[in-house]
Structure 1
Amino acid sequence: MNRSYLVNVKTRKGKVMRVVREMYIRDEMSCNSEACDMCVSEGEGKIMLSAKPYNHQYLIMDAEVLVNQSDLLQQEIPPLCDVIILQSVLLEVRKRNLSVFNQIGNLLRNSSKRFVLFANQNFEHTYVDRRMEESEDDYNERLVVAAVQYFNEHFSSLGLHTLLVTNNTCLQERYLEDGKMECVTIKKFVEDLKKNYPELEDHLNLISIENAENKKDGMETEADSAPTEIYDSKRRMYNLTKERGEGVIYFNYLDDETVREGIDAGRLFKGTFHANQDNIREGRVNLHMNGEEKAVLIQGKLDINRAVDGDQVVIEIYPKQAWKAESELLVLNDHDDDVPGDNVAGNEGMAGNGNGNGNGNGNGNGNGNGNGGAENTGEKQITGRVVAIAKRNWKPYCGSIEPLTGAFAGSYCLFDPVNRRVPRIRIKTSQYEKLVNKRIVVVINDWPVTSNYPIGHYTKTLGEIGDREVETQVLLLEHEIPPNVFSKEVLDCLPPSDWRITEENARGREDLRGKVCIVSIDPPGCKDIDDALHARDLPNGNIEVGIHIADVTYYMKHNSALDKEARNRSTSTYLVDRRLDMLPKLLTENLCSLVGGEDRFAFSVIAEMTHDAEVVKQRFVKTIIRSKQAMTYAQAQDYLDRGDDASEIGHGIHLLFMLSKKLKAKRIQAGALTLSSPEVRFQLDDEKNDPLSMDSYKLKDTNSLVEEFMLLGNCLVAKRIVDAYPKLAILRRHPVPDKARFDNLVKVAKHAGFELNVDSNKELADSLDKAVLPDHPYFNRLLRILTTRCMTQAVYFPAGEVPPELFYHYGLAAPIYTHFTSPIRRYADDMVHRLLAAAEGYAPLPEEYRQKDFMTSATEIMNFRHYNAQMAGRDSVELFTILFFNNKNEKATGVIMMCKKNGVKVWVPKYGIEGMVYINNTNKKNALNHNYNNDFDFDPETCVLTNVHDKTDTLETFQPVTVGIHVQEMKGFRKELILSILSPHPFEDEQVEEEKTKTKSVKRSGGKESKSDKKRKV
């Protein structure tokens, strides 16, 4: 039967409407217990409650427990099995936390945990009518009580009962008022299990319980103290409040309504907070203002106001007179004193918080906000402060517990994340001695205004600190890289391993086998070969070029389980010792890989070009190809070096090389940038994968050859899909960076004698070309590396999301650009393949591609995964660098990349590594180098450090120095790569001399993006 009920619905404009809805009510429903023979089973294979549950009880959790204790519920122990999830509770969870909702969904599919869903709102004996004017919370509580009472009656004859578990005593009292039942708090539930499961309490989210208890006791929370005048129009600033009482550090956040009004009025702005990895007390929020991207500096702990890297924050911008300069200090995550126990939440740094008394309503301009140093004297930047959190980006963090100097006297300790952008986390544990030398995972639960640190809890142990497999697991978890395992559902989508091309499945394709000489050029050992090329002379004097790309979407049907998995992964991830694939190996290394001598399906761009590299015409065609040879860059380079232009392969490579040089010249003329980044190559032991040697990666002419044709193919395809689908095309743009990003670089370049013009990419490229010092072999390369770090991140986007003038790719100087050439390892390319196939009439466009939300969501996932894969690759290099230098003491030439008041960052070209060297250290625990522990003066105008005792002893950006390199075990059993300056002069070795000869002819190559695969830079 149907039942009608009233609900209050809030409209987009904030108004509340009463809406009548209908609910279908059943008179029979299975209880899902194996012990029950009264209920009719609802199908084979369904997960059922055990007939003999722990303590003869089934658990029912309310929404507060599910939302706040999700980690605890994951623990695989008998007392946390056999749980009834009520439909009404699950709907409330979905409304409050989608991530937890998904976790509960996984538990409902876990047969060993035996979580079962019960549709209590659709069952006659557990449905209750909603009362007039009844709040949603009160109604949900009555639904829970009705369900518990029904199950107690239903199971009574079976010797079983239900136990309702809630998060705090306040809720417990309300449930017990409503009906006779057993109800316990989650804290009491865990305490009762302590004898048999002593480690369980570490997984409790205690802060959520404490917050609820404090509210019950009438203690003030952030929302309790609103100012009479929220916005001060004279100061053009919001009056932030502070709670009353001792130990309050941070300002309260603005409420949702004030935030909404502030954003609408243009006084507040929403963006993502990015912490500075070299200074935990500083970060930036990038805003799009008036068609430009502006970076807003957020400096000092009070202005950061408990934001964590990746949080979506709401900020206000200070009046111009209160803007600040970038910090002149390097501040790592261990800047604060180590204080165990409750004193960890002390209130250091309270002086100068802009209040005067620490308890006012934030009427200062924020100039003295506890940033731990004197006012900075550099160039002022747009500066703001965090006034609210729009969306937390908290996730599981990997790291280790900081060892205490004395005996462990309490239950609290500090967790030090491996991610330098994340603050230390205060956790409570009974396992200190067991965890202190381990890599563990911790989640953040809250960050109260009274605590210097966020509060979290331990979730699991990964293994010993320093173990290579454990550290690799850490970096994969940190960057949310999916494991190299595919489900049966995904594998079932694959063709049989003996699949072959036949006349039937090849129908409609152009057969190029034996007609053109196709080759692929890749790094040594490459197995996932996405692309191959051909070039041949045409009778009319022009040249035909073929850019042949693996036709992955032939095997991966839209919205299949395989396609959904690839969309979620979005990219393959390349670590030093392994590759984590986006697709199963049958496709990546076999059916799709364009290996030599094998027939393969391809999607080809075939262009007719003049000898001046002008494209006369092009066509996009599905083909069958057979590569003549799968070559390495070195093998292809050998054809060029020995001048082999007579053989079929040699002539094709020479044609491609000739055209690639002209394509590059045209791009550079248009303003394409030659950017650089430190890139490292390891030689690994065949058996143990230990690093045997390490050096910086050196590019060959054939790297550039391949890159130019991948760029050409991507640009041609971009134009085609935008012509066909001007609102739907998936493109890639590189936003023009804010000029303020270059301020420090312009300053240090000027001190070195060069004017850096950043008005456009063309002028920047010309400036970089002119900035060459013949006697300084690394100057120009380092200048390009530093320029790279001033850039914005390139992103995927649907064409309808921004106006055409914002399609521009700044680094490549391309008006329109996409990714088409790497479909084996990038999902963006597969989406582009489908768009191109539809444009060329090969297949209909998937219907979802016409939905804006679907396309936006897909690009957001791809941007997230692409960035994380890059970061994982870099962290892998850092891990293997430590393994390589372990038990070594090396000397090499380093070049200073950056100077700050208390240290410098040094780049070592020979190994492609970089690191900090600290000076002016008064705090010895941070003194990583003692050679420069003298007093140095810092000049913010030139960024030069001068020894106060010897004015000739200076350190400045671009200065070559001799560095010592070794690995040292630091606090917390962590091994770190330590750089120390041994001499203010370069260490003369063979590589320095070799680089000097190269400096006289600085080469330029197009914009590069990926670090892990030297060919895949487009």
Structure 2
Amino acid sequence: MLKHKTFLKKNRRGNVLKIVREHYLRDDLWCGVQGCEDCRQPAHEAPLERAAPSVSSAVPEPHLLLPDTNVILHQLEILSSDAIKNVILLKTVLDEARKRSPPLYKKLTDLMSSTNKHCYVFINEHHKDTYVERVPGETSNDYSDRLIRRAALWYNEHATGVKTLLLTDDRENLRRARKEDLPSMRVSAYVWSMPDHPELADQLASLELGVPGDGAVCYPEHLGLALLQAGIKSGTYRQGKFFARDDNYLEGTVMVEGLEQPVLIQGRYNLNRAVQDDIVAVELFPRERWSVPSNLAIEDVGFDNDFSCELGFPPECCLGQAAAQPTGRVVGVIKRKWRQYCGMVELNPIPEEIHHQFVPANGRVPRVLIQTARGQQLAGKRVVVTIDSWPRNSRYPLGHFCRDLGKIGTKSAENEVLLLEHDVPHSHFSDGVMACLPRLPWEITPQDVANRVDLRHVDVCSVDPPGCTDIDDALHCKRLESGNFEVGVHIADVSHFIRPGTAIDKEAANRGTTVYLIDKRIDMVPDLLSSNLCSLRGGEERFAFSCIWEVTPDAEIVHTKFHKSIIRSRAALTYGEAQLKIDDASQQDAVSQSLRGLNSLAKVLKRRRLENGALLLASPEIRFHIDSETHDPIDVQAKQLLETNSMVEEFMLLANVSVAEKILEEFPECALLRRHPQPPPNNFQPLVKAAELQGFKLNVDSNKALQESLNLAVRPDNPYFNTMLRIMATRCMMQAVYFCTGTISRDQFQHYGLAAPIYTHFTSPIRRYADIIVHRLLAVVTGQDSTYKELLDKRRTQSTCNHINYRHRMAQYSQRASVGLHTHLFFKERVREEEGYVLLVKQNAVSVLVPKYGLESTILLPGSERENARVQFVYDDKVPSQAAGGVTLKTFDKVIVQLSVESRNVQQQKLVMKLIKPEIPGFTVESQRTDPTEAAETEAMDELVTATAETAQRKKRRSAGGAETTPKRAKRKAK
């Protein structure tokens, strides 16, 4: 029997197409019931037993079970029990299960192949008596339910002498079945009516958090743009950028202008398909429904997730707390910010399937469903995928495969992922850009000398990290006859080579900043400028923009002057070499005396700056020693700062402040400055609470009050305590940003962290485009260059600021990711045991900081909900603390941990931290250091590795013409 169905459909061009579909129906399909006289029974034994004894007191007579899609999706554990037999599986149900959950469908196929289960697959959609046509306006879910009820009714009429019971947990389907006098029951009711199998009650899935209304729809409908605009205008809705949490995929925030705190979004239903960086509209809940962020770390495990249990709303325990923040739900998306995403393909557990899940490398991005026949080829590869759409009836967005980046774990593939994920431009410079570069050999002309102040006679030197080739700042200091000092900061004159509107200027503006990874550098400008013509290398004549002060011995500024200059650096020193010159009293050359003068003045400047309220914060930073041949990390340690680090920093800060004052005076409406907003009081709550629990009261009313409070928060028994407090304080800060002075009021210009009323960036034009703009402004102020239209356009300048703020932020993230990648490479074949401190206590984890490496990682803890755990931890949110086995873990507690890399998850290999001490039976691991001799050997090996690394670094610098770093060689060179 053949049925035709005709309907009209519009294509993308608006043309109406007539489509005819054919559906074949049969009357020879067997029902599967034993001894059925109306069906043409196959020769083999029937799967459905007519007289099987009942195990249910509610249905004492022999019966067949016909589960609907809802039961298959949520109660498969019940159906898999040996107590459940005589099950009819409809094709309608199987197709939906295959579409909604491939792993579940695979379990179903295993269930169907079991001979003792007595399961039978009935092709209901092709039987002439069980097929029904879909009516106009009927949802797919309602149509599916109607097909299922029709099949159940037919079985009751067809299989005489045996009842067919419809099992459903869908309220609407159950209501309609009873209205049609169809035998039906909830799964829970059926299980509870089985007195001989009480264990099944524990396996019942809870469906209380399901989506209201249409069970086939996962998410609410997004409101149209017109409704959203009207709602935003009336204040019903708020708009802002969505940020997903990277450690809990069921939570995110929306930054809304005008609110002190971001709007908290909890539960997949309320997130409503928002993706990281989307501009969304949110509806705020009433204040009594405001919540606090969850303390749980939750990972989306994809195929294995039970979708019905993750739609939920804010947990009751989070509601109504004193620290509750604005909470709401996403009602619509104003602008999608989808892009290409890097990650890996997680293959469908059904081998012949072509639908797979893409798992993003970025934990803030949801999984993506893709369709590809190359699944096996892409397994174990880094790939790029684009999101195309996200229907409301799909758990995940839909997308397509773009390209293959290489094998997971290879440095080339991982670095490519790192750069693409953080939107770092890293292609080769174009021919147009390269055409803007000066030709070699480059020489200083008499005209250049006439237009600049000649400072080649001044004893200038640079002080930078080891191996630095893009040297953009140098210093000098000399005593004047008056007893005062002349101090100069000389910055590479990059703006001389990069003229406005040229191809190289546009490229530098687009890149925004140089990105420093552990093993490579992504330059903002070509190498000819960054490492050669603009780099203030020792012994070579270079163009500079100089800021020169006359200062008193108390570092008070008498006057300041700015001019373009020509310098010849006497030495390109490392921080260590400069420190040796300062400390070695026998060295009395001009450069050594200049450095001592700079160092003494810098101490005065720093003391005064801190007295004025500047914050002295901290962050865990590590330094890698890289093998010169393989470029793999061979040692890692926390960065050590010297006095010379602070010396250079103080004069760079002073130059930036002086330049900011000068360009603002001349260009009050279009100067490019940098500001650091004061954090709102709520930002400091975790810090204040942590300090209070240790007996210290922090005053966060101002930066000066905070700095003074931090200075007093010292514990003699824990020398690292104050550092941890400062690390926590750093995380309370707002982001510092570039801005144009004509776009905000003067009272917002301040730099909170530096306690400076005005600040800019002038000292690194080789690696920051903002500094190039500032150089151009200063050149106009000093009469050494002419202005141009875009420079005086405040809207254009603010647009540039917004772009370089974004590039700067992405560069920071990529640099952190590079540290993470090399940390994993270093610990991949190593297991280390180190001293650490508890930095944060969560509901299901503790975060531990290891000072030796500057590393922070999380130890996941089993909670009371995990009955199979060997030890149970109890979380106290008032302290906060975690307790188990007579041991309590609180913030700032000292611990011994074991560090290694977990390699089972090839997508996101992570540093694994395990607790050694304090000992908690059933949870802590044993130390691998069995005796003092072994520990001594391990320390000796560490020292050998470090020495080898330093030797490799010295060889690398010698081959590159760089400076030596060993003390003995530095002394020999000085003599």
TM-score normalized with structure 1 length: 0.69
Equivalent of 2:360, from 398, 405, 417? Answer: 417
From 312, 316, 324, the equivalent of 1:380 is 324
Residue of structure 1 equivalent to 2:902: 968
- Residue by residue, what CA displacement relative to the aligned partner does 1:408-465 show, whole Å, maximum 9, x if unpaired? 3522222211111112222222222111211111111222222222222211111111
What is the distance in 2 between the residues matched to 1:217 and 1:655?
Answer: 87
- Residue of structure 2 in register with 1:349 after alignment: 310
Other structure's SS at 1:905 match: strand
| 1:169, distance to aligned residue in structure 2 (A) | 6.3
SS, match of residue 304 in structure 2: coil
* Alignment check: 8 A CA contact 2:289 2:320 kept: no
- State how far apart, in whole Å, the 1-side matches of 2:13 and 2:212 are: 28
- Give the whole-Å Cα distance in 2 for the aligned partners of 1:970 and 1:315: 39
Evaluate the alpha carbon distance shift between residue 278 and residue 771 of structure 1 in structure 2; reply closer, same or farther with a 3 A threshold: farther
Matched residue SS, 1:261: helix
Give the corresponding residue for 1:934: 871
One-letter code of the match for 1:945? Answer: Q
For residues 205-247 of structure 1, what are the alpha-carbon distances to aligned partners after superposition, in whole Å with 9 as ceiling and x for unaligned?
xxxxxxxxxxx997889xxxxxxxxxxxxxxxxxxxx996332
Displacement of 1:880 after TM fit?
A: 0.7
- Is residue 378–residue 940 contact of structure 1 (8 Å, CA) maintained in 2? no
Residue 984 (str. 1) matches residue 918 (str. 2): yes
CA shift for structure 1 position 325: 1.6
**1:330 offset after TM fit, Å?**
1.3
Report 1:450-529 matches (<5 A): 450-483=393-426, 485-514=428-457, 516-529=458-471
What are structure 1's unaligned runs of at least 5 residues?
Answer: 1-167, 179-215, 222-241, 354-366, 994-1018
Q: Deviations over 1:776-806 (max 9, x none)?
A: 1321111111111111111111111110100
Equivalent position of 2:105 in the other structure:
none
- Is it true that 1:599 corresponds to 2:533 in the alignment? no
Q: Give the distance between the partners of 1:539 and 1:432, measured in 2 at CA.
A: 78
Amino acid at match of 1:349: E
Change in CA separation of 1:388 and 1:477 when aligned onto 2, cut-off 3 Å = same
Matches within 5 A, 1:587-986: 587-643=529-585, 646-920=588-862, 934-947=871-884, 950=885, 952-972=886-906, 974-984=908-918
Instruction: Work out whether 1:321 is the aligned partner of 2:282.
Output: no
For 2:716 and 2:336, the matched residues in 1 are separated by 50
2:244 touches 2:276 (CA, 8 Å); kept in 1? yes
Query: Quick one: which amino acid aligns to residue 300 of structure 1?
Result: G
Cα pair distance change 1:651/1:447, threshold 3 Å:
same
Q: Which runs of 5+ in 2 are unaligned?
A: 1-7, 19-134, 141-210, 930-934, 940-975
CA distance in 2, matches of 1:277, 1:644: 55
Distance across 2 between alignment mates of 1:829 and 1:961: 44
Q: How far has the Cα of 1:693 moved from its partner?
A: 0.7
Secondary structure, in 3 states, of the residue corresponding to 2:250? strand
- Tell me the SS of whatever aligns to 2:483: coil
Q: CA deviation digits over 1:153-212, x for unaligned, max 9?
A: xxxxxxxxxxxxxxx96226844889xxxxxxxxxxxxxxxxxxxxxxxxxxxxxxxxxx
Letter in 1 for 2:805: N
Does 2:372 correspond to 1:429?
yes
Cα distance in structure 2, aligned partners of 1:495 and 1:759: 53
Structure 1 segment 111-510 matched on structure 2, within 5 A: 170-171=10-11, 174-175=14-15, 245-289=214-258, 293-334=260-301, 338=304, 346-350=307-311, 353=313, 367=314, 379-403=323-347, 406-483=349-426, 485-510=428-453
Write the distance in 2 (CA, Å) between the matches of 1:869 and 1:496.
Answer: 31
Following superposition, the deviation at residue 657 of structure 1 comes to 0.8
Taking the aligned partners of 1:288 and 1:545, their CA distance within structure 2 comes to 44
Name the residue aligned to 2:108.
none
Q: Is the 8 A contact 1:278 1:332 kept in 2?
A: yes
Deviation at 1:374, TM superposition (A): 7.2
Question: 1:811-857: CA deviations, max 9, x gaps?
Answer: 11111111000000000000110111111111122211222332122
Structure 1 CA distance for aligned equivalents of residues 668 and 587 of structure 2: 43
1:463 aligned counterpart, secondary structure: strand
AA in 2 matched with 1:320: R
Q: Do the aligned partners of 2:844 and 2:861 also contact (CA within 8 Å) in 1?
A: yes
Judge conservation of contact 2:740–2:798 (CA < 8 Å) in 1: yes
- Mapped contact 1:248–1:347 kept (Cα < 8 A): no
Asked if the contact 1:251–1:302 (Cα under 8 Å) also holds between the matched residues in 2, the reply is yes
Q: Partner of 1:681: helix, strand, or coil?
A: strand
Q: Distance in 1 between matches of 2:636 and 2:735?
A: 28
**Contact in 2 for aligned 1:446/1:455 (Cα 8 Å):** yes
1:305, 1:428 → 2: CA distance?
23
Shift of 1:670: 1.5
Distance 1:602 1:973, change over 3 A: closer
Report Cα offsets for 1:52-107 as digits up to 9, x if no partner.
xxxxxxxxxxxxxxxxxxxxxxxxxxxxxxxxxxxxxxxxxxxxxxxxxxxxxxxx
Distance (Å, rounded) in 2 between the aligned partners of 1:640 and 1:975:
44
Confirm or deny: 8 A CA contact 2:289 2:319 kept in the other structure: no
Deviates more, 1:308-317 or 1:597-606: 308-317
The separation in 2 between residues aligned to 1:307 and 1:176, in whole angstroms, is 33
User: Alignment partner of 2:898: what SS?
Assistant: strand
Deviation at 1:407, TM superposition (A): 4.0
CA 217–553 in structure 1, closer or farther in 2 if over 3 Å, else same: farther
Q: Could you say what the CA RMSD is over the residues aligned between the two structures, in angstroms?
A: 2.8
TM-score norm. by structure 2 comes to 0.72
User: How far apart are the structure 1 equivalents of 2:373 and 2:864?
Assistant: 34
Q: Contact 1:347–1:452 at 8 Å: present in 2 too?
A: no
Three-state SS of the structure 2 residue aligned to 1:961 is: strand
Structure 1 residues 375-384 or 474-483, which shifts more?
375-384
Name the CA distance, whole Å, in 1 between partners of 2:625 and 2:9. Answer: 60
Q: Confirm or deny: 8 A CA contact 2:263 2:326 kept in the other structure.
A: yes
The structural deviation recorded for 1:293 is 4.5
Q: For the Cα contact (< 8 Å) 1:378–1:941, is it kept in 2?
A: no
Query: Could you tell me how far 1:271 is from its partner in structure 2?
Result: 2.1
Number of the residue aligned with 1:93? none
Q: Which amino acid aligns with 2:385?
A: V
**SS at structure 2 position matched to 1:458:** strand
**Number of matched pairs:** 732
1:554 to 492, 496, 504: 496
Question: Does the CA-based 8 Å contact 1:436-1:972 persist in structure 2?
Answer: no
SS of 1:674 mapped into structure 2: coil
How far is 1:878 from its partner?
Answer: 0.7
**Is the partner of 2:668 in helix, strand or coil?**
coil
- CA 1:722/1:219 → structure 2, altered by over 3 Å: closer, same or farther? farther
The letter of the residue matching 2:876 is: D
- Secondary structure at the residue paired with 1:490? helix
| Structure 1 residue 921 displacement after superposition | 5.7
Per-residue CA deviation, residues 618-665 of structure 1 (Å, 9 max, x unaligned), is: 011000111111100001111222235732111111111111111111
> Highest Rg: 1 or 2?
2
CA contact (8 A) 1:347 1:451 kept: no
Cα distance change, pair 512–566 in 1 and its aligned pair in 2 (3 A): same
Q: How far 1:368 sits from its partner (Å)?
A: 5.3
Distance 1:374 1:863, change over 3 A: closer
* CA deviation after TM superposition for structure 1 residue 322, in Å: 1.5
* Partner SS state of residue 274, structure 2: coil
